[in-house]
Amino acid sequence: DIQMTQSPTSLSASVGDRVTITCQASQDIKSYLNWYQQKPGEAPNLLLYDASNLEPGVPSRFRGDGSGTDFTFTITSLQPEDFATYFCQQYEKVPFTFGPGTTVDL
């Protein structure tokens, strides 16, 4: 199975900050990587697919980059509604594994 790791596990930030999360795959997943946001008590929400493609309706402050095994997720200017947990997910191979998540709090 492809293992996904994320760092950091959590981070504290302020409104307006630039926030970067990394996601690493245990083997080459090309660009088959998605990013989801989840707020407490809610279902996850797709932000980015294929590593860097913004889902329609998602603000442009969310950005993704990378290919192969190393990926980054950036919020260019953190907004109050962005405090949440972020998960990466690979879909190069079954099982479609998720990373453990990164919690962004105040």
Partner 1 sequence: EVQLLESGGGLVQPGGSLRVSCEASEFSFGSYAMSWVRQAPGKGLEWVSTISGNSRTTYYADSVKGRFTISRDNSKKTLYLQMNSLRAEDTAVYYCAREAYGDYWIDYWGQGTLVTVSS
> Which 25-54 positions form the footprint of partner 1 (CB under 8 A)?
32, 34, 36, 38, 43-46, 49-50
Type of residue at 74: T
Per CB under 8 A, 89 contacts partner 1 = yes
CB of 66 to partner 1, least distance (A): 16
Distance CA 51, CA 82 (A): 19
CB of 44 to partner 1, least distance (A): 6
Place of tokens 């989840």: 38
Distance CA 80, CA 70 (A): 28
Residues 34 and 55: beta-carbon distance below 8 Å: no
Per CB under 8 A, 69 contacts partner 1 = no
Per CB under 8 A, 87 contacts partner 1 = yes
Query: Which position among 17, 58, 83, 101 is part of the footprint of partner 1 (CB under 8 A)?
Result: 101
Residues in contact with partner 1 by the rule CB under 8 A:
1, 32, 34, 36, 38, 43-46, 49-50, 55, 87, 89, 91, 94-101
